[in-house]
Amino acid sequence: MTPKHFLDLSDLTAHTVRDIVDEARHRKEARAGLPNGTPDADQPLAGKLLALVFDKPSTRTRVSFDLAMRQLGGDTLMLNHNDMQLGRGEPLSDTAKVLSRYVDAIMVRTGPHENLTELAAEASVSVINGLTAFSHPCQILADILTIEEHRGPIKGQKIAWLGDGNNVSVSWIHAASLLDFELHLAVPENFRPPEDVLSWAAERDAKIVFSNSPEAAVDQAIAVNTDCWVSMSDNPEEAAARAKAFEPYRVTEALMNLSDNGVFLHCLPAYRGNEVEARVIDGPQSVVFDEAENRNHIQKAILLWCFEG
Ligand code: CP
Ligand code: NVA
């Protein structure tokens, strides 16, 4: 049987994305009040083993997938790239085939997106994208769950993205195409998301709007998103040039006041004083820690979708 991979939201239907977000919300509600280490009553993934492969750092993705698998009754193996033969040049294709003999699913965080797609092509178990330089689909489903908890259904709403047209913004664009909300981006000209992603969205009549100012992007938005100025796959030597380009796009209290009492989201890690003022991320409109918690609930729904056959 061909495994179900979770590589990008653009591979999924609107129905699947809606089901995953709803399943996460129901499971979250069903275990309210239980200690984090206590499994869900039904333990639907008992006997299943998930490998977590990292060749980039992670706090949230690492812990939330580990926790998610335990709460579903399954188990995990934490594998760091440099501790594996991968780090010495063993081919990804051989690694995919070998891991498929040992575990029941693989989550991978890597730089080049091609590493992810190659692993998926060669694996005979489900592969999940835990972030690449191109996209971060698990994150955006957690963000949608968070926005809907605070502001109700996302359909038809205005969502703002400020700063870098990076991996997180790509998954937001994919989501906007599926769930029919307006995504307003204010990004510097040289840091637009990839043009093929924008064409893909345009072909699907997605409501992607490039605003010529951060003010226009956040005006009456119900949620304001940003991300760090230098991502893990970016060249650190470009940090100064990036800082110069992104400084006008910092999320400030004055900008948040233009929103429709919008919630502030950030996938984290955040750099206070760079992409966001401390009083915004630590202020009353910030939902970043609900967002981080929701990574766990969403990972569970993603895992269940992969395993449901
Ligand atoms: N948001 C996110 O993916 O965080 P980590 O890099 O800590 O996993
Ligand atoms: N855009 C960031 C997200 C981190 C979770 C990065 O790729 O480093």
As a whole number, mean pLDDT of residues 37-52 equals 98
- Give me the residues paired with residue 53 across strands: 79, 108
pLDDT in tens, 120-158: 999 999 999 999 999 999 999 999 999 999 999 999 999
Q: How far apart are CA 108 and CA 81, in angstroms?
A: 10
Round to whole Å and give the CA distance between 168 and 131.
Answer: 9
- For ligand 1, whether the C-beta of 267 sits within 6 Å is yes
Ligand 2 centroid–CA 250 distance in Å is 17
Q: Annotated catalytic, 136?
A: yes
Res 1: pLDDT: 76
Which numbered ligand comes closest to the C-alpha of 268? 1
% of the chain at pLDDT higher than 90 = 98
Q: pLDDT (tens digit, 9 = 90+) per residue, 253-308? A: 999 999 999 999 999 999 999 999 999 999 999 999 999 999 999 999 999 999 99
Whether 139 sits among the annotated catalytic residues: the reply is: yes
What is the pLDDT at residue 107?
98
Ligand 1: centre distance to CA 299 (Å): 13
* Residue-level pLDDT at 243: 98
Which atom of ligand 2 approaches the CA of 166 most closely?
1
Q: Is residue 216 within 6 Å of ligand 2 at its C-beta?
A: no
The answer, yes or no, to whether any atom of ligand 1 lies below 6 A from the CB of 292, is no
Residue 13 alpha carbon to ligand 1 centre in Å: 25
**50, β-bridge pairs:** 76, 105
Taking CA 131 as the corner, what is the angle to CA 62 and CA 20, rounded to the nearest 5 degrees? 80
Proximal ligand: closest to the CA of 298: 1
**Average pLDDT in the chain:** 97
Specify the pTM. Answer: 0.98
Q: Averaged over 80-104, what is the pLDDT?
A: 95
What is each CA distance from 268 to 57, 78, 104, in whole angstroms?
12, 21, 29
- The sign of the torsion formed by the CA atoms of 42, 44, 45, 47 equals positive
Q: What span, in angstroms and rounded, lies between the C-alpha atoms of 10 and 129?
A: 13
Mutate to test the pocket of ligand 1, among 64, 132, 295 (most ligand atoms within 8 A of CB): 295
Give the number of the ligand closest to the Cα of residue 61.
1
Domains and CATH numbers, the chain: 9-136+296-307 (3.40.50.1370), 139-291 (3.40.50.1370)
Residue 94 has pLDDT above 80, yes or no: yes
Average pLDDT over residues 96-123: 98
What's residue 212's pLDDT?
84
Among 7-21, 78-92, 134-148, name the one with the lowest average pLDDT.
78-92
